[in-house]
Amino acid sequence: MWINVSQQLKTSIGTIRNYEVSEIVNVASGKSMVQGEVGLIRTDRSILAKGTLHTEVEVTCSRCLSLFSCPLTLNIEEEYFPITDVVSGASLPLPEEPGCFTIDEHHVIDLTEAIRQYVLLAIPMKPLCRGDCAGLCPNCGHNLNQGPCDCSPQETDPRWSVLSKLTLASDAVVNKRKGME
C-alpha cells in the first residue's frame, strides 16, 4: 500500500491523517486480505504509522494437522524516516536503527512490508484450530475432532506410544504421566 506523504511532511508536528487499508498482502502462507485503518502522524523527524488491522491466514493446526483460517489482529506502530528533505530536496541522514522504514525520494510510504512483518509475528507458534482440538489418534491417525476411532487404548502399537509421549511432552498431561510412572 503506497501513500504519498509529501503534503503531510510540510505540515506541523502532530498532524494526523487517517487512511483506510484494504489490501491483499503476500505472506508466507499465501495472499491475505488486510483491512483496517492507519493514522499517519507527523513527528519532528518522521511519519509515525499507527493503527489496527485485521486479516486471516491459512495455518496448520499443531494438534490435528488440518488447515484452518486463523484470524489475526495487527497493532501497527512504525516510524518512517524521510531520505530526502521535502522542501530543499537535500539528502537526509537516517537514524542508526537497523532495518528502519524509509520514505522514498518521491515522498512515498510503502506500508506493505511492515504489514507483512506484523503478520508473520502475529501467527501463533503452535496454532490450534480450536481451543479444545482433540488432535489425532496416535494409533491410526484418525482426526478425533470428527469423532472417536475404533482403536481401544490397550491396542496401542508400542512403536506409536513413543510418539504419543513426544506429542504430549509439551502439554500439561506430561506431569500427570510422570506422577503415574
CB of 137 to Zn ion, least distance (A): 3
> Which residues does 122 contact at the CB level (< 8 Å), separation at least 6?
72, 73, 74
Residue of 27, 40, 61, 111 interacting with Zn ion (CB under 5 A): 61
**Contact between 59 and Zn ion (CB under 5 A)?**
no
**What's the number of CA atoms in the CB half-sphere (13 Å) around residue 147?**
1
Complex with Zn ion: residue 108 or 123, whichever CB lies closer: 123
Q: By rule CB under 5 A, what string of x and - marks binding of each residue 67-106 to Zn ion?
A: ----------------------------------------
Q: Give the range of 36-44, 57-65, 89-97, 99-107 binding Zn ion by CB under 5 A.
A: 57-65
Residues 139, 171: Cα–Cα separation, whole Å: 19
Candidates 47, 62, 39, 58; CA nearest to 10 is 47
C-alpha cell at 127: 496454532
CB of 144 to Zn ion, least distance (A): 8
121-150 positions binding Zn ion, by CB under 5 A:
129, 133, 137, 139-140, 142, 149
Contact status, residue 52 vs residue 118, Cβ threshold 8 Å: no
147-176 positions binding Zn ion, by CB under 5 A:
149, 151
Residue of 5, 36, 63, 82 interacting with Zn ion (CB under 5 A): 63
Burial class of residue 134 (count of CB atoms within 10 Å of its CB; 0-12, 13-18, 19+): middle
CB of 58 to Zn ion, least distance (A): 13
CB of 147 to Zn ion, least distance (A): 11
Q: Which residues bind Zn ion (CB under 5 A)?
A: 61, 63-64, 129, 133, 137, 139-140, 142, 149, 151
